[in-house]
Amino acid sequence: MAQLVASMPGSSTGSVVVTDHLNYWGGGRREVRSGDGAQPSEPVFEPATGRVLCQMVPCGAEEVDQAVQSAHTAYLKWSKMAGMERSRIMLEAARIIRERRDNIAKLEVINNGKTITEAQCDIDTAWQCIEYYAGLAPTLSGQHIQLPGGAFAYTRREPLGVCAGILAWNYPFMIAAWKCAPALACGNAMVFKPSPMTPVTGVILAEIFQEAGVPVGLVNVVQGGAETGSLLCQHPNVAKVSFTGSVPTGKKVMEMSAKTVKHVTLELGGKSPLLIFKDCELENAVRGALMANFLTQGQVCTNGTRVFVQREIMPQFLEEVVKRTKAIVVGDPLLADTRMGGLISRPQLDKVLGFVEQAKKEGARVLCGGVPFTPSDPKLKNGFFMSPCVLDNCRDDMTCVKEEIFGPVMSVLPFDTEEEVLQRANNTTFGLASGVFTRDISRAHRVAANLEAGTCYINTYSMSPVEVPFGGYKMSGFGRENGQATLEYYSQLKTVMVEMGDVDSLF
């Protein structure tokens, strides 16, 4: 894979075939047997062309066990190193990613379908996250507590052991970094499993950590789907599972992890509300709504797909949003001017188009998009493209307003009062993100306080800086990624009690 990244400049959509092994443990890529009693390999597609990019060869029990053993051996060394030493190695990993950013981003585009502009931001976020946690690694410390008679206690912040990451396909490299960085900073080892649809870039991250100087086998990648994921959740030597994916899978992960009482972080789906009040700066609200719906072809967990607009400004809002949505350039994601690439797979495309059809049946009006799109470039004719869609005439009880679509479909709903819109915005089992556009600062903070979500954006949407904690309320999950808070989720506190006098005994 390192060779592939090095030889990538000049590659274009439809030209890359990945033949390297994508499973990685013990400091090297591993060939895994498929079929004939083992799980069969699965084709991985390039969303822009519909062409097979590579084969994903899943790991079974034996391979998962080897990866976990490899992680554990490395953990015994890594966890004994000083925070400053871990920091230095992590900074070197961040530097290497920065150096190879454009080629990693190209591979991400080819495997995931998102635009190169977005993929470059993702890779930047990945190295920034590693740099951020490298800075925090030496700061891990405990407390000293004085007790009567000269006795005292102190606490040590200790790692958990081998952590497992189970990843979604929408931000393959970035989410892997979001999990590895805090885990490694705290002294843990990592085995992560990318989505079977995006197996290509995760292994590059593992290789880069190795190249930067982590103990051999500290970061490992096992490819596969539900079966491989379950093996990680059930492995007795895995101390924690950090999962990013849908609510139904998250529940299963929690259930399986409960059997061996593992720590669990769940980063799940959403159906986030975006509240646009009539006193907003309309130009910014329109930009915010587009960012909240159409990044990564609408396949973003935090997307503000329920756009509540105060009735008085609805006509102007719709006119502007529809004009700009129609202007989004859909096509070859490796071209700098493209703003929307292909969806992750043919089934995902069909599912999203199905949501649009269902919305129409339930009475929504399609103001633009919502149909398959064929770019003029002939090599893209089998790609998984659709035109971004704005739905009007929506009601709270419609399927498109209640369910996570995970595609470029914005549902717009009118409202009259703050009290009413808060009640409607919170009337969901999800609670990942939310947003409000208003010029009234009291209203902005009041609304932020009352929205039931892990993040509330005021007069913006969609950024996730690595310094800021990220995670859900309600069924969007628990635990956090990014920010200092995440150190708590990758470490445990040991209390040491010290008596300076004689033992006080009742016996």
- The residues annotated as belonging to the active site are 267
Residues engaged in binding ligand NAD (CB under 6 A): 166-170, 193, 195-196, 225-226, 229-230, 233, 244-246, 249, 252-253, 267-270, 301, 404, 406, 432, 472
Nearer Cβ to ligand NAD (244/434): 244
Residue 109 Cβ vs ligand NAD, minimum distance, rounded to whole Å: 17
Nearer Cβ to ligand NAD (63/404): 404
Nearer Cβ to ligand NAD (53/89): 53
Whole-number Å distance between alpha carbons of 147 and 258: 36
Token reading at 431: 């609670």
As a three-state string, the secondary structure of 284-323 is HHHHHHHHHHHHHHHCCCCCCCEEEEEHHHHHHHHHHHHH
Whole-number Å distance between alpha carbons of 206 and 10: 24
Residue 471, Cα to own-chain centre: how many angstroms?
10
Residue 42 Cβ vs ligand NAD, minimum distance, rounded to whole Å: 11
Task: Report the candidate in 315, 303, 317, 232 with the shortest Cα–Cα distance to residue 274.
Answer: 303
Residue 249 Cβ vs ligand NAD, minimum distance, rounded to whole Å: 3
> Alpha-carbon Rg of the chain, whole angstroms?
24
Per DSSP, 79 falls in state T
Nearer Cβ to ligand NAD (217/229): 229
Token reading at 433: 């993100």
Q: Rounded to whole angstroms, what are the CA distances from 41 to 248, 335, 395?
A: 24, 31, 43
Q: At what angle do helices 116-136 and 83-112 cross, to 10 degrees?
A: 170
Nearer Cβ to ligand NAD (182/245): 245
- Given a contact cutoff of 8 angstroms between Cβ atoms, the answer to whether 110 and 46 are in contact is yes
Nearer Cβ to ligand NAD (246/399): 246
Residue 259 Cβ vs ligand NAD, minimum distance, rounded to whole Å: 13
Residue 105 Cβ vs ligand NAD, minimum distance, rounded to whole Å: 18
Task: Report the candidate in 390, 462, 403, 404 with the shortest Cα–Cα distance to residue 433.
Answer: 462
Question: How many alpha carbons lie under 13 Å from residue 40 in its C-beta half-sphere?
Answer: 3
Which single residue brings its beta carbon nearest to ligand NAD?
229
Paired residues of 471 in beta bridges:
none
Per DSSP, 39 falls in state P
Burial of 297: CB neighbours in 10 Å, binned 0-12, 13-18, 19+: buried
Residue 361 Cβ vs ligand NAD, minimum distance, rounded to whole Å: 23
